[in-house]
Each structure stands twice: as structure tokens, then as C-alpha cells.
Amino acid sequence: MACLTKEQLTAWRQQGKTNIQIAEMTGRSVDTVNGLFSRYKIPPRSRGIPQETKETILRMKGSGSSIKEIMEKTGLSESAVYNHAKAAGLIPDRDMGLPDVLIMAETRTPRISRMVCGGKRYLDVTEIYIPL
């Protein structure tokens, strides 16, 4: 079996192949492929989506396309499309339906500092309570 060269590994990395795919293609273990990438100091592949795909998402969402239409065009998942459109400010934050006034938890001093029950020792460490 011939040794994998830096040029071969770099070419496969640029094609977007994962280390697992390269290991399967060459009949080597994933650990061996990982070691070669490390030895040759080849940077890891980009996990983000291409800039042109991001622009497509923003352009389509800006023109009123639905998330499903964008998913079909780009081949991305619903969450990926949604997250990119939301990050660009094209999707408003969801209203959580919370009341205008929230009753927040109030601090208190522990009522029972130490307690023994069934031969086990317990310590009350709570510092808040929620009024009903």
C-alpha cells in the first residue's frame, strides 16, 4: 500500500471529503488518516456553509420566500435556514407570551439549617423561594 501524500490529502480536503470518507477510500483507519493530517499540518475542513449559499438564503428570505422553499433550493436543513435568516435579522424573535410583570424569586434565609432523618444528615442550602 502506497503512502498517502500531502498533495493527495489536500486535494481530498478541498473536495470536502471527511476523514472517514478518506479512510474508507484508502483502506486505512480513521486514526491513521487523522495522524497524517496532523503530521502534514493540513488545516481542518470548513464546517460552515459557502458564502454564496448564505447570500441565496438572505436574498430569498428578503424577497418573501418561505423556509421550505429555501430548504428545497439550497438543500439545507430547516434549522440551518432558519438560523441564518434569524441571524441576519430577517426573522423576528418569537413572542414567548410571558406576562408584562413577572414575579421573581425572593431570597430567604434557610429555615432548617441541619436535620437528621433516618440516621442521615441533611443540610438546607436553598437561598430562594418562589411566592405563589
pLDDT tens digits, 24-43:
999 999 999 999 999 999 98
Residue 28 confidence (pLDDT)? 93
Count the neighbouring beta carbons within 10 Å of the beta carbon of residue 73: 14
Residue % of the chain over a pLDDT of 90: 26
Q: How many residues does the chain have?
A: 132
Count the neighbouring beta carbons within 10 Å of the beta carbon of residue 85: 20
Residue type, 55: E
Tell me the Cα Rg of the chain. Answer: 27
pLDDT exceeds 70 at position 118: yes
- Collapsing DSSP to helix, strand or coil, 64 comes out as coil
Domain ranges within the chain, ordered by starting residue = 6-39, 51-87
Cα distances (angstroms) measured from residue 80 to each of 21, 60, 72, 95, 116: 23, 14, 12, 21, 53
| Whether pTM exceeds 0.75 | no
pLDDT exceeds 60 at position 94: yes
Confidence band of 111 (pLDDT split at 50, 70, 90):
low
∠ CA 31-16-55, rounded to 5°: 140
- Stretch 90-98: mean pLDDT: 68
